[in-house]
């Protein structure tokens, strides 16, 4: 499916999306020689369409003996419009109109751009909404539905440089949200740590960043004992993936660390079958940093970015690490294993220690499907953050705002650090509640003094069923905020 932009005199698509603010629906819209007359008062009086948030109305017009499907979609009150709700509205309308088997869709933006005066943001969010709504994971369907839609056009008469820049960025970020979703949706029998590393190499070649893969011997040489403890029961060897992009030689370097459990059975603290069935998604953090790295490199941002993923499986076997074990770590601290299903933080601490001490990054963000308790705290719509630096955290919050995603920074009190201690080791991998916060603070013990942010996406990274304008499965949350963080730090 091709996405482009044209003015209203150059196109009559088979389907047209017209976004409207509440009580601001025009009576007539003109596209090329097509005059679309909207019975505004009738729709309002019968409460069929008033422009309320996410409200839709569809009608069919005949032009030159051709049918044109027109869909109105409500944005609600102009003063309350958010990027998130705009993308929901466009995505919802797109999915509904696509289901009518049209071959081309136009999104009429003249009224919206004139109302909000932000060509860049409208272009970016329109494109991203379309790409996100269009994605559906069907790689393994032997009989696939025919996709009749071939082209989507953003319709705007006054196309300027801001609009084009927003369009181009929306394409790059939207496509790489899909990269994250596609990787995370792959079944674990296909996307092993080795296969993940091979795909990252290809993505690096395509996008313009360097990739280095450490195998078991190198990981062992680096004394990543916590990471290897998690990986050792699986017949699939671990792969430590390093991605490097140098867009600002001599400048500071940003680091991303993504949790890369390509499958998590829980180890000897085994999950129930229902809990294991979606554990291919436990590498959602890895998918996000890979997608963000691709977007940064493709955009040629003037920033230095290094991302790492400690990829492995957490399985059961005679060589499994066990509850009650005391293990070491690359950072030198000892850890009491209270539960082998609290494994993600063990891989992350070695990856975080590595990226700080070997790659010499100046700031670091780790992102992970880390705790079930985050859902109890924030539900499935908001990502949780823990940070040791107010300024860096504020930049992350701004990046989430620019992406139309939610994040909530958790408070940290000195008493929480006491919960990390264990009488037989330096730390325990299952500190007491609040579990999402103390899990983050466990990682912080391996950070040192540099600015750090932990993002827990366990509630937001995966949809069990279709929601809003997204299909079920991996959501790709985090890709856009990580990209915008890098962009905001670029020179």
The Cα–Cα gap between 154 and 158 comes to 12
Q: Other CB atoms closer than 10 Å to residue 339's CB: what's the count?
A: 14
Matching residue, tokens 């809990």: 275
What are the tokens at 267? Answer: 């180890």
The Cα–Cα gap between 30 and 374 comes to 49
Residue 232 annotated among the catalytic residues of the structure:
no
The Cα–Cα gap between 469 and 131 comes to 10
Active-site choice (95, 345, 445, 487): 345
* Element of type H or E holding 438: helix 435-444
The Cα–Cα gap between 489 and 486 comes to 5
Torsional class of 87: left (φ above 0), alpha (ψ -120 to 50), beta (otherwise): alpha
Q: Other CB atoms closer than 10 Å to residue 145's CB: what's the count?
A: 9
Confirm if 76 and 62 have CB atoms less than 8 A apart: no
Confirm if 151 and 104 have CB atoms less than 8 A apart: yes
Residue 345 annotated among the catalytic residues of the structure:
yes
Active-site choice (44, 271, 333, 395): 271
Query: At CA 229, angle to CA 325 and CA 264, rounded to 5?
Result: 105
User: For 249, which DSSP code?
Assistant: T
Distances (CA, A) of 339 to 230, 267, 279, 425, 483: 11, 9, 17, 15, 34
Q: Which residues are catalytic?
A: 271, 345
């Amino acid at each position: 499916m091709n996405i482009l932009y044209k003015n209203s005199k150059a196109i009559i698509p088979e389907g047209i999306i017209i976004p409207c603010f509440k009580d601001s629906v025009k009576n007539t819209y003109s596209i090329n020689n097509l005059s679309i007359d909207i019975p505004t008062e009738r729709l309002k009086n019968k409460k069929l369409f008033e422009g309320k948030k996410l409200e839709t109305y569809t009608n069919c017009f005949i032009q030159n003996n051709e049918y044109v499907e027109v869909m109105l979609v409500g944005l609600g009150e102009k003063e309350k419009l958010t990027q998130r709700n705009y993308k929901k509205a466009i995505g919802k309308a797109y999915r509904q109109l696509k289901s009518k088997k049209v071959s081309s869709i136009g999104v009429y933006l003249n009224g919206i751009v004139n109302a909000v005066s932000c060509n860049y943001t409208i272009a970016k969010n329109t494109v991203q909404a379309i790409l996100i709504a269009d994605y559906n994971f069907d790689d393994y369907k032997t009989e696939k539905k025919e996709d009749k839609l071939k082209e989507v056009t953003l319709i705007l008469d006054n196309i300027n440089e801001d609009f084009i820049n927003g369009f181009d960025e929306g394409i790059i970020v939207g496509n790489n949200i899909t990269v994250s979703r596609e990787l995370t949706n792959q079944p674990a029998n296909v996307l092993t740590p080795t296969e993940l590393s091979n795909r990252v190499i290809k993505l690096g070649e395509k996008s313009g960043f360097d990739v280095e893969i450490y195998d078991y011997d190198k990981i062992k040489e680096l004394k990543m004992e916590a990471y290897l403890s998690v990986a050792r029961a699986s017949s699939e060897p671990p792969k430590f993936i390093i991605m490097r992009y140098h867009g600002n030689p001599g400048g500071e370097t940003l680091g991303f660390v993504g949790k890369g459990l390509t499958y998590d059975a829980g180890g000897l603290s085994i999950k129930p079958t229902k809990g294991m069935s979606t554990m291919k998604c436990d590498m959602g953090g890895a998918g996000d940093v890979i997608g963000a790295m691709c977007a940064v490199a493709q955009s040629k941002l003037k920033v230095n970015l290094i991302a790492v993923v400690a990829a492995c499986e957490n399985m059961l076997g005679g060589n499994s690490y066990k509850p009650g074990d005391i293990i070491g770590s690359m950072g030198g601290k000892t850890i009491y294993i209270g539960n082998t299903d609290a494994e993600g933080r063990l891989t992350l601490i070695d990856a975080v220690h590595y990226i700080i001490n070997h790659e010499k990054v100046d700031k670091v963000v780790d992102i992970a499907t880390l705790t079930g308790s985050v859902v109890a705290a924030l539900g499935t719509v908001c990502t949780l953050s823990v940070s040791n630096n107010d300024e860096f955290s504020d930049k992350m919050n701004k990046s989430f705002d620019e992406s139309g995603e939610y994040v909530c920074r958790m408070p940290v009190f000195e008493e929480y650090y006491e919960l990390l201690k264990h009488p037989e080791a330096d730390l325990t991998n299952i500190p007491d509640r609040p579990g999402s916060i103390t899990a983050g603070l466990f990682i912080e013990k391996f950070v040192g003094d540099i600015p750090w942010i932990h993002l827990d996406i366990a509630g937001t990274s995966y949809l069990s069923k279709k929601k809003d304008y997204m299909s079920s499965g991996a959501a790709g949350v985090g890709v856009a905020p990580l990209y915008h963080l890098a962009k905001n730090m670029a020179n």
